[in-house]
Structure 1
Amino acid sequence: MPPTLDLSRTSHAKVVIAPPRINLRRAASYQHDRGPLSSTSSRFTFNHLVFSPPPSPGLPSLSPPAKKPSRRLFSTVRPLRVIRYAIRLLSVVLVFFVALEVLTWFFGESTPTPTNTTKSVIQEPEPETGMVSQKAVPDFPTPIVVTDDRGRAKWTVSIPPGSEFPLAMSQYVDMCLKCRQVAERARHLRSHGHGLHQVSLGFGSDSADDFIDVKEAEKAGYFAGVEKYDGGVARGSETGKMACKKSLTFVLESSDAGLGKTLMMLWIAYGLAEKEGRAFFIDDTRWSYGKFTALFQPPPIPECSAPPSHEILPCPRHTRHLVASAATMDVLFGSLTESADPPSESHDRALRKTQFNLARRGYEALARMNKDDGDYVDTRVRELTDMRTVPKSKGHRNGLAVGVHIRRGDRHPLEFQYRHSYMPLSLYTDTAYEIIESQFNHTTTGLFASSHSGEEAAAAKEQSIVVLASDDPMVYESAELAGAANRAQERIKLASKQNIQNTNQDKSVMRKFVDETFGWEGGFFAAMFWNLGVTSAHATAAPDASPGSGNYAAPSAETLRLRSLVGRAYVMDLTVLADASDVVVCTVSAVGCRLLAVMMGWERAMDEGNWVNIDGGYGWLGLEW
């Protein structure tokens, strides 16, 4: 019998029994199957440290956490990262300076403070322009390049105070050419200048930003010694009015002997000035037809006084005080004759209507004839109206007045087959009679629809008249028109050689020798006009004696008087045709034909079709020559 265990002698009164959840199985990870290992054993490893039991959730870890290696700045050099940081930094700097430049463009640049060291600098020598580099302001009219206090290249136009006004036509033409070149030079210097403030990205840079007007240039000190004007009132002004803020001065001087082209440009210039809020002035100092008031009444007087002459510039177009003439018409009228839009019939019609409306506004303001001629024209229009009135007409129907304008001389038609000659007179008369026939066609519908329409139409047709105006006195005596047409006016006539000789038929009277007689046979020619009032002994042999040519000489008082008579006859002819005629027949190649359309008005001439061109299928051409 085996001995029994006696537990009564032990010091523990109770026995602790392990709970059933405790696993009493020997863990291989704690004690290997082969028994405990010692440090001296050949099987001794550190696996007992590596494969340690997992830490208790409530107890700290038996081994300290592994320390992460510290990252030192630039411990590892990465070239791409350095380049990326450099690009970002340069981008921030560039954006800053671009934003500064844009703000300067939007909010304007500060006017340079005038100092004694501020100087105007003309651009470098240009072989094609002949400009000379210098530091002082030139003593002749010319555009110049200047630099402001920030080193920006700009440009202006320098005209020495006290210079003759207006300048010669050749000077204005030369200045307009140089303005384009100097403006381009200033833009080139701005875009290729030194320093970040000269950086140009291709936007916000306009010639208007580069140009400095004369008044601002004076304040900035670019023009040393220029006389200042206080309070906007020009010194020497007799009116005492404030000087105009914006103005347009039209110089009537022209190398074209014809009057029509000058009048068309004058009227359109007035319309542009009114549209842009500019005061309008007319200069007739060297006009070939004499004084403007010899033909027309004085133009409307502005509420301000004319600016100093050295502030009136021919270019650029946006200058404060602009001077325009036939010599610089491209600067003033370029926007009215050219367009970036593709050509189309509707666009061309809209562009020409714009020109037409501007010319119409100028006609209404400036084409008032002098009192004597105006009274005569009013009387003549009433006479022609009475001639076409049907007596005792129950329907108050009058005859039709068809105006015919025939231009010959040095103006040839646009139509191909007549481009080296003239339109046959039969085309004018046939067109006029066709218009009359179409209006009185004896129908019971339309214009004369009534029980007595046939009788009234026949009576009105019988009273219809043709009103004729021409620059060739022989046209009035032609077989096609003699006795069938009425002169537009008989106050001033262009006489033929035969008419002049018929006035001196009494050979019994002793008369002193006179030069050979010349007349206007064939029409108006420029050479004939330029030699008016000049005796045959002193007449120029060259056909061109216009201003600017080597044969031109200042006209005498007698010459200006004769030229003024020619201009007055021209204006009265057109006015009578426009006021007394229901329909006008003419050739659009003549500028007088285009003026007639303006004088009739767009609705009456174009919309109602009462302006009839027989020179090809062209419409109103405006400034296109």
Structure 2
Amino acid sequence: MSLTPRTPQYRSGRAEEGYTQDELREMHGEYPEDDPQSSAAPLLSAGSPRTDEPKGGKAMAATAASKLPIVFLSFVAGFIFFLTVVEYRRPGTLEWYLGIPIPSFEQMPASTGNHDDLNSSLIISYENYTSFPLSTHDYLVECYKMHPGGFMPSTRFWEPTAAGLMDVVHGEDKDVCSSTITYMLDGKIGLVADLALMAQAAALARERNRTFFIDDTYWNRGKWLDHFQDVRETQPGPEPGCKQPPPQEYVACPRHARHWIITSRTAKFHFGQMYYEHYENGYAQNTNRLKPIYDFAAGSLRNTIIPNIENARLISSARAEVAVLSSMYLSVHLRRGDRKPSSYAYHGGYVPTNDFVDALDDAARRLQRGDHPSLVYLASDSPTALEEISTLLPSVYSLSRSANAELKSLVSPGEYFQRDFDKYDLETRIRATRGMIVDFALLSGAWNEAGPDAVVCTVSSAVCKLSAVALGWEKAFGHLDKYGLIDRQLMSWVDVDQKGRIIPEWAAFDLFN
């Protein structure tokens, strides 16, 4: 004998039994007339007229109506709580939706040099400092004071919080640029890692119509003009000839300050997730989403960050030597030292040299239509790695193999460890920086129409990231499909670290703690 569960659905559908009178009364809220424990009508208070009307629709409607105020108040309380959470997590959102204008730095009243015309609670004070500009460490401390979480919350990237604009007090010199973005160098990260961040900062200055500056006060690689052209000439900005602001007016956080300064240490407050959300293409997928940020970097590398006459001459000499050997070449960058691969497959070690050779052979077959590359330009911070890969390739060129003594002197003094770089004397550091600039130009084709047919590198390295920018979008990635996936047949940017295991495969820059 099978059993059927007694569910409400089963009970309501049993056609073979029907319902008893008692069940019908129970369903309608009625009780048998002979039940002494029940009543067909509700209990009445003394003096109330008796009614025999059964409990029905009118009574239920009255009950529901009596609860409406409670429901309404609960809804209002929940809505207010929701608004509170939104305002706490994304300050300024409510003002934006309600159409309440949030002031920008352009709307700030001109300062008279004292605090009388500014809200004292919004003034950033540097009274504990005696020298300016502050060090990159001090700017980091100031950012953490304002944003302990390590990022700058805001409704949108360029909108200040609802609390208002925070800034230092400004002077009255009318010749000072009205608004600026300054990138500060200190050499606490590698050269190309700095250039990748600087490229975004310069692009923001162009986009926001601000004047762009470089501050090299604490740079351990000499002066900016020792290596590159003056950015006031390559990117003069909206007020050509205006004066650089006094260093005591630089502000690292918030970014809405009139004279915003960015360093590799404070970049994480500004170039994190909110930056991507604001500037990436939200309608595209994977690598395609990053096209606007890629274009930012490309514009800066093409028009703003340009080698000076001395370095341009060294780059030209190296290219001339390569041209004598072959009209076509591939390039490879082997980063050693303190930059380990990001893929867990190489955890604790480096990408094997044979992986670079295999990638070069594959690129030669795809792009040069040969089994082996005709010529390979080698760049590395490790003399040992250079020698090892040289023995595995038929034809190679590197600065260490140059017939030009001046070029040969630019070879890296050893594997690059950030903590050890300052141990070299200034002349050695300047020379090593020149060598990296020449290597990057030949590796990627930067600052020249001609370049390699492909670059093989590890995406964990800033040199690799920026090489993709120098190659050009279509040359680097081929014809990306609608899903933003890199074209494996036509790509010239070859990562042997992650090898396509992460999406997006390319990144514009690194952020540092």
Q: Fold match, TM over 0.5?
A: yes
- 1:494 offset after TM fit, Å? 6.5
CA–CA separation in structure 2 for the residues paired with 1:342 and 1:564 = 36
Larger Rg: 1
Question: What amino acid sits opposite 2:243 in the alignment?
Answer: S
Residue 422, structure 1, aligned to residue 350, structure 2: yes
The offset of 1:208, in angstroms, is 4.2
Q: Which residue of structure 2 lines up, in the alignment, with residue 574 of structure 1?
A: 440
TM-superposed CA distance for 1:335, in Å, is 5.3
> What's the counterpart of residue 526 of structure 1?
418
Alignment correspondent of 2:145:
178
Change in Cα spacing, 1:306 to 1:383, as seen in structure 2 (3 Å) is: same
CA distance in 2, matches of 1:414, 1:325: 24
Task: Determine the structure 2 residue equivalent to 1:211.
Answer: 164
Report the AA paired with residue 264 of structure 2: A
Distance in 2 (alpha carbons) for counterparts of 1:611 and 1:420: 25
- The aligned counterpart of 1:282 is 214
Q: Could you say what secondary structure the match of 1:285 adopts?
A: coil
The aligned counterpart of 2:318 is 380
Q: Percent of aligned positions with the same letter in both sequences?
A: 27
Deviation at 1:163, TM superposition (A): 4.9
Q: CA shift at 1:561, angstroms?
A: 1.3
- Structure 2 stretches lacking a partner, 5+ long: 1-96, 446-450, 479-489
**Aligned mate of 1:565, from 431, 437, 442:** 431
| Contact 2:202–2:212, Cα closer than 8 Å, also in 1 | yes
Larger relative helix fraction: 2
Question: How many aligned positions are there?
Answer: 374
Q: How many Å apart are 1:405 and its aligned residue?
A: 1.0
Distance 1:243 1:410, change over 3 A: same
Alpha-carbon contact 1:475-1:481 (below 8 Å) kept = no
Q: C-alpha distance in 1, partners of 2:456/2:110?
A: 63
CA contact (8 A) 1:265 1:326 kept: yes
Q: Which amino acid aligns with 1:599?
A: A
Change (3 A) 1:588 1:210: same
Q: Is the 8 A contact 2:301 2:470 kept in 1?
A: yes
In 1, are the aligned partners of 2:280 and 2:289 still within 8 Å (CA)?
no
2:365 partner amino acid: E
| Structure 1 counterpart of 2:382 | 472
TM-score (norm 1): 0.53
| Counterpart Cα distance in 1 of 2:132 and 2:352 | 46
Aligned twin of 1:246: 179
Pick closer, same or farther for the CA change 1:483–1:322 going to 2, 3 Å.
same
What does the per-residue CA deviation read over 1:456-494, in whole Å, with 9 as the maximum and x for residues that have no partner?
Answer: x7xxx7882111111111223226446631115740457
CA deviation digits over 1:516-548, x for unaligned, max 9?
A: xxx62xx2222432211xxxxxxxxxxxxxxxx
Q: Residue 254 of structure 1 contacts residue 325 of structure 1 at CA under 8 Å; is this kept in 2? A: no
- Give yes or no for the alignment of 1:615 onto 2:497: yes
Matched position secondary structure for 1:310: helix
Mapping of 1:392-541 within 5 angstroms?
Answer: 400-439=328-367, 464-478=374-388, 480-481=391-392, 484-487=395-398, 490=402, 491-493=407-409, 520=414, 523-532=415-424
How has the CA–CA distance of structure 1 residues 161 and 601 changed in structure 2, closer, same or farther, with 3 Å as cutoff?
farther
Task: In structure 1, give the amino acid aligned to 2:254.
Answer: P
Q: How does 1:575-590 map to 2 (within 5 A)?
A: 575-579=441-445, 580-590=451-461
> Kindly tell me: are residues 480 and 339 of structure 1, through their superposed partners in 2, closer, same or farther at Cα, counting changes over 3 Å?
same
Shift of 1:276: 0.9
User: Aligned letter for 1:425?
Assistant: T
1:356 aligned partner: 294
Q: Provide the C-alpha distance between the structure 2 equivalents of 1:350 and 1:477, rounded to a whole number of angstroms.
A: 38
Q: Per the alignment, do residues 345 and 428 of structure 1 end up closer, same or farther by CA in structure 2, a change over 3 Å counting? A: farther
Task: Look up the match of 2:263.
Answer: 325
In the TM superposition, residue 570 of structure 1 has moved relative to its aligned partner by 0.9
The CA deviation string for residues 355-395 of structure 1, in whole angstroms up to 9 with x for no partner, is 22111122123432232321231232233234324xxxxxx
CA separation of 1:112 and 1:606: change in aligned 2, threshold 3 A: closer
SS at match of 1:622: coil
TM superposition shift of 1:340: 9.0
Q: Which amino acid aligns with 2:375?
A: I
Amino acid across the alignment from 1:487:
S
**3-state SS of paired residue (1:327):** coil
SS in 1 for 2:272: helix
8 A contact 1:156–1:211 mirrored in 2: no
Name the structure, 1 or 2, with higher relative contact order (CA <8 Å, separation 6+): 2
Instruction: Note if 1:591 corresponds to 2:462.
Output: yes
Letter in 1 for 2:225: T
CA 1:372–1:310 in 2, change beyond 3 Å: closer, same or farther?
A: closer
Matched, 1:605 2:461: no
